[in-house]
Structures are given as structure tokens and as C-alpha cells.
């Protein structure tokens, strides 16, 4: 079985690539290295430096390989940036999916896994959030993922391509052996920022708001380990290979932690004090986002290995403390 992984040099993509290789897949990574790192790509994967905004580059890869499935990660991912640079997100994220699907359907590829987002549930009526909630993207970033889901819907109608959209909650942690992990530039995510403070690379953590309608006033999120996330992708792909229909799944542990709780667990794991201040709310933040993961557990048999925050932060700390400067391979991101 051979699969194409776009964005395979990025945080989530690189972890999925390793799991795919472990499970015997042939893997071709397609990444423009704008945000990804060449050093994050396992040596047993074929690496192609290419851009999804260049259809002729995509076509070349499909002429050289026959794919049993595609896992699409390559995307701009920052909620905040998407509200400042909306056209960058619409142009790049939406065109990337359009170009990829145009080439993939021309080559008769029948299986596609999309990395989607909990940002589609900006106004949930119930927590935990099921897949039945209204789809109301909370940002331009989320909107581009919504459009990607809709493109897949039409790809199925017209080309019989089967797909699975995985709506991630908060991806976190690192490979347990500590050789790959999260390395964004600039970093905006809570756990890596906390660990940068623990390492002395930042003076303090600023918590964005403590006046939310939550027990301690700080936002609540559902942290899911990147290896459990990777496992879900392979289960989803294998379900499609076994004849399952197109599906969407929420992907989280089903347990929420407030920002102050995350800080406290990080203090315990690192044994460092980690100074904190309370700042203003960050525009676009929902008070609480927690997944109802019943559907993916029942239908795919997904069973997270890292189902508590302590275990997640321990793996993140192993990565950050041994790679304080991320990947030193000359690429940025």
C-alpha cells in the first residue's frame, strides 16, 4: 500500500508518517518546507519538495507513483493569523485542496483523509461536542477547512472518492522516543509556550483571559496526543480500504483541562516554577471545546494510549528539553 502525505514534514504529518512506516506502508511526503522541516521526515519515506499551489508539480508526483490513498495535512494553521490575513488562507488552503483533488481524481485515487478542525464548532450548544453540532467556523482558518470538507463531498458525488474528515481538538505531545515534536515558528500553542518558559526561553506565560464562564475562569480545551491522532488516521484509512463509506469524526480525548490546569500539570512534570500573568482575552477563543469521541471509538475502535494530560506533557517535555531549538536543519516553521 502506498500513500501520499502532504505536509508530512510538519508537526502532525511527520508523526503520521512514522506510524505509517511502522505499519508497513510505503510513504511519499510532499511538502514545500515553508512550515515543515526536512529533518522531521523519516529517512524511509520518499521526500518530494513541492508546492500544492503548483498543479504541474503535483501531477509529476502522481505520474511517478500510484497511490492507494492520500492524507492531507499541508495547510496554514493559525486561527489568529487567518483573521489578519484572510486572503492568504482562502487562496492557499482552499487552492491546495482544489489542486490536489483535481490531480488525484484525474488519477483515479479513491481514498482521502483530511485534517479538519474543532474550529468548525464555534458555537456548540452542548459540551462535549458531537459530530451533529451545527458547523459554524470560528475563523477564516476554520472556514477553509469547512470548504475542504465540502470539496470532498463533491469529489465523492462526482468521482466516487471516499473520504474521512478528522476534526481535531488540541493536538499536543511528541513522539515518545523524543526525536520529533512540535516546532512552530512563531509558536502560538499553549503547551509548547509553557515549556519554553520552563526552559527559560521566555520570561513568563501570559494566560489570555480569566473571566470566561468556566470553573476557574480560563478557557478549557481537549488535548489529544499526536500519536493517538496519527493512529486515528491509519484506522480511518484502513476503514476506507475495507469498504467503509465517507465519514467525519471528532478527534479528542473527551476530557477538558483549563489553561490553569495545563500550567499546573506542566509545573509538576518539569519541576520548574513557570511564572504566569493574566492578560487580555485573545479574540476568537471559545470558552470550552471538548470532544464527544463516542463515534470514532465505536466505529473505528480508536482507543487513545495517552488519555491524560500528564502523559501528554511528559512526551512534549522530552522533546522540548532535548531540542530547545527545534529542528536545526536550516528550515523554518
The residues that touch ligand UFG, with contacts defined as CB under 6 A, are: 77, 79, 117-119, 169-170, 188-190, 193, 206-208, 219, 221, 259, 282, 285, 289
C-beta of 32 vs 116, nearer to ligand UFG: 116
| SS3 category, 69 | strand
Rounded distance between C-alpha atoms, residue 146 and residue 136, angstroms: 9
- Looking at 89, 141, 146, 212, which residue is catalytic? 141
C-beta of 109 vs 222, nearer to ligand UFG: 222
Q: Supply 185's cell numbers.
A: 515558528
The distance of closest approach from Cβ of residue 152 to ligand UFG in the complex, given in angstroms and rounded to an integer, is 18
168 is catalytic: no
The 3-state secondary structure of 110-172 reads CEEEEEEEHHHECCCCCCCECCCCCCECCCHHHHHHHHHHHHHHHHHHHHCCEEEEEEECEEE
The distance of closest approach from Cβ of residue 51 to ligand UFG in the complex, given in angstroms and rounded to an integer, is 21
C-beta of 50 vs 182, nearer to ligand UFG: 182
Strand partners, 47: 29
If we measure between CA atoms, which residue out of 36, 111, 99, 41 comes closest to residue 70? Answer: 111
Strand partners, 258: 220
Residues with Cβ < 8 Å from 297, sequence gap 6 or more? 303
C-beta of 98 vs 214, nearer to ligand UFG: 214
Q: Supply 101's cell numbers.
A: 483533488
C-beta of 56 vs 277, nearer to ligand UFG: 277
**Residue facing ligand UFG at closest CB distance:** 219
The DSSP secondary-structure symbol of 268 reads: H
The distance of closest approach from Cβ of residue 195 to ligand UFG in the complex, given in angstroms and rounded to an integer, is 12
The distance of closest approach from Cβ of residue 215 to ligand UFG in the complex, given in angstroms and rounded to an integer, is 14
The distance of closest approach from Cβ of residue 12 to ligand UFG in the complex, given in angstroms and rounded to an integer, is 10
Do residues 267 and 273 lie in contact, with contact meaning Cβ atoms separated by under 8 Å?
Answer: yes
Catalytic positions, written as ranges: 141
Amino acid at each position: 500500500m502506498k500513500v501520499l502525505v502532504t505536509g508530512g514534514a510538519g508537526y502532525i504529518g511527520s508523526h503520521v508518517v512514522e506510524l505509517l512506516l511502522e505499519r508497513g506502508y510505503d510513504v511519499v511526503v510532499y511538502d514545500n518546507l515553508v512550515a515543515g522541516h526536512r529533518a522531521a521526515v523519516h529517512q524511509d519515506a520518499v521526500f518530494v519538495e513541492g508546492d500544492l499551489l503548483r498543479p504541474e508539480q503535483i501531477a509529476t508526483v502522481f505520474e511517478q507513483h500510484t497511490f492507494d490513498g492520500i492524507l492531507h495535512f499541508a495547510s496554514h494553521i493559525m486561527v489568529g493569523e487567518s483573521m489578519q490575513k484572510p486572503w492568504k488562507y482562502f487562496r492557499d488552503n482552499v487552492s491546495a485542496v482544489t489542486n490536489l483533488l483535481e490531480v488525484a481524481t484525474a488519477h483515479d485515487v479513491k481514498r482521502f483523509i483530511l485534517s479538519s478542525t474543532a474550529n468548525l464548532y464555534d458555537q456548540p450548544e452542548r459540551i462535549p461536542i458531537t459530530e451533529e453540532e451545527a458547523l459554524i467556523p470560528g475563523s477564516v482558518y476554520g472556514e477553509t477547512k469547512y470548504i475542504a470538507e465540502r470539496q470532498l463531498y463533491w469529489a465523492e458525488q462526482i468521482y466516487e472518492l471516499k473520504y474521512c474528515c478528522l476534526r481535531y481538538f488540541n493536538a499536543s505531545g511528541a513522539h515518545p522516543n523524543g526525536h520529533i515534536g512540535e516546532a512552530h515558528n512563531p509558536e502560538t500553542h499553549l503547551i509548547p509556550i509553557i515549556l519554553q518558559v520552563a526552559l527559560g526561553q521566555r520570561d513568563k506565560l501570559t494566560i489570555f483571559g480569566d473571566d470566561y464562564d468556566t470553573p476557574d475562569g480560563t478557557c478549557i480545551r481537549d488535548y489529544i496526543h499526536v500519536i493517538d491522532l496519527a493512529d486515528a488516521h491509519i484506522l480511518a484509512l484502513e476503514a476506507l480500504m475495507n469498504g467503509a463509506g465517507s465519514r467525519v469524526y471528532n478527534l479528542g480525548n473527551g476530557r477538558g483541562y483549563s489553561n490553569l490546569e495545563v500550567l499546573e500539570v506542566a509545573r509538576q512534570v518539569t519541576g520548574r516554577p513557570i511564572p504566569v500573568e493574566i492578560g487580555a482575552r485573545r479574540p476568537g477563543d471559545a470558552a470550552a471545546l471538548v470532544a464527544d469521541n463516542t463515534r470514532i471509538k465505536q466505529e473505528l475502535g480508536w482507543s487513545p494510549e495517552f488519555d491524560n494530560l500528564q502523559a501528554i506533557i511528559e512526551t512534549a517535555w522530552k522533546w522540548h528539553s532535548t531540542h530547545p531549538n527545534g529542528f536545526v536543519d536550516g528550515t523554518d516553521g
